[in-house]
């Protein structure tokens, strides 16, 4: 949610039962404006929070003039002092994938993981147990990046691509119509396109290059053991199965100009799309 409309967006998102106290809201509103000024961001988005055992992580992202350029991610433990996180890498994702359970709420906390590594002793090769330490800050970076790639969604028309390349906020966008809001094709993944590059020239000819420059949710297949029933993806274990449950109790779309659904994902209204990634709720 955009920092400039933060108070209204938080009020709407609090309907899920997960909200912020008045003092936290006031601190966020002030500190995010200072973050925008100090880091010279074009926009600052309040990404959400991740609950920890000791403290909670409040996450914000800074956006440059090109809205699809890599975003800077910051975290705070008190909604006033913000620290910049390093960019996520594939190595981070692999290293932190072995860590399970709740966050501690301490960036300097180190998780210990025992793994087998091959050791050469002359002509002999044997396996030895090695204790690997993983910092929670690294895990935080990896989890935020994975959630962004999986469920950061933006409605069609909220951004537009200029003939010269940069992607800007569409100031005339007032939301989707009721009929369009029901279609998955009206929503895009808020990241660099992957599937769009594989489309044929005939398929690309039907797209508007100024609006359809990201991957649509229309042809997404949920990961995990999901079933297609009546045109809807249903998880055998039922709604509520979430890979991020406990780590991310509520999340707002970082791309939308307005408020998003208070859930761990953002999907089209009246669309049941539950998978091992996140439970779907009506927006």
**pTM of the complete model:** 0.72
pLDDT at 271: 29
* pLDDT at residue 175 greater than cutoff 80: yes
Q: Which pLDDT band holds residue 274 (cuts at 50, 70, 90)? A: very low
User: What would the mean pLDDT of 179-193 be, rounded to a whole number?
Assistant: 88
User: What would the mean pLDDT of 229-239 be, rounded to a whole number?
Assistant: 47
User: What would the mean pLDDT of 247-274 be, rounded to a whole number?
Assistant: 34
pLDDT at 248: 34
Which of 187, 162, 186, 157 minimizes the C-alpha distance to 172? 157
How far apart CA 83 and CA 261 sit, in angstroms, is 27
Helix (H, G, I), strand (E, B) or coil at 94: helix
The phi-psi region of residue 65 (left if phi > 0; otherwise alpha if psi is between -120 and 50; otherwise beta) is alpha
Instruction: Say which residues have a Cβ less than 8 Å from residue 196's Cβ, sequence separation at least 6.
Output: 204, 212, 213, 214, 215
pLDDT at 118: 77
* pLDDT at residue 264 greater than cutoff 60: no
User: What would the mean pLDDT of 26-39 be, rounded to a whole number?
Assistant: 93
Q: What is the mean pLDDT of the chain?
A: 77
Please give the residue that has the higher pLDDT: either 199 or 52: 52
The rounded percent of the chain whose pLDDT value lies above 90 is 30
* pLDDT at residue 224 greater than cutoff 80: no
């Amino acid at each position: 949610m955009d920092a400039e409309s933060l108070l209204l967006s938080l009020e709407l998102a609090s309907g899920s039962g997960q909200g912020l106290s008045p003092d936290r809201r006031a601190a966020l509103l002030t500190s995010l404006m200072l973050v925008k000024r100090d880091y010279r961001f074009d926009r600052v988005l309040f990404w959400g929070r991740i609950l920890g055992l000791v403290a909670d992580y409040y996450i914000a992202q800074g956006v440059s003039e090109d809205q699809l350029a890599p975003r800077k991610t910051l975290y705070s433990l008190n909604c006033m002092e913000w620290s910049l996180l390093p960019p996520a890498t594939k190595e981070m994702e692999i290293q932190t994938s072995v860590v399970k359970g709740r966050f501690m709420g301490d960036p300097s906390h180190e998780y210990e993981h025992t793994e087998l590594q091959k050791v050469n002793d002359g002509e002999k090769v044997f396996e030895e147990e090695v204790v690997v330490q993983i910092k929670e800050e690294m895990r935080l970076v990896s989890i935020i990046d994975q959630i962004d790639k999986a469920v950061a969604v933006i409605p069609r028309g909220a951004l537009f691509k200029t003939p010269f390349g940069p992607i800007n906020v569409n100031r005339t966008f007032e939301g989707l119509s009721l009929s369009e809001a029901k279609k998955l094709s009206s929503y895009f993944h808020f990241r660099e396109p992957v599937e769009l590059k594989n489309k044929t020239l005939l398929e690309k000819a039907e797209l508007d290059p100024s609006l359809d420059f990201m991957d649509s949710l229309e042809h997404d297949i949920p990961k995990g053991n999901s079933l297609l029933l009546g045109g809807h993806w249903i998880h055998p274990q039922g709604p509520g199965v979430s890979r991020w449950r406990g780590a991310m109790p509520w999340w707002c779309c970082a791309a939308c100009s307005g408020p998003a659904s208070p859930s761990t994902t953002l999907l089209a209204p009246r669309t049941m799309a539950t998978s091992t990634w996140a439970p779907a709720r009506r927006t």
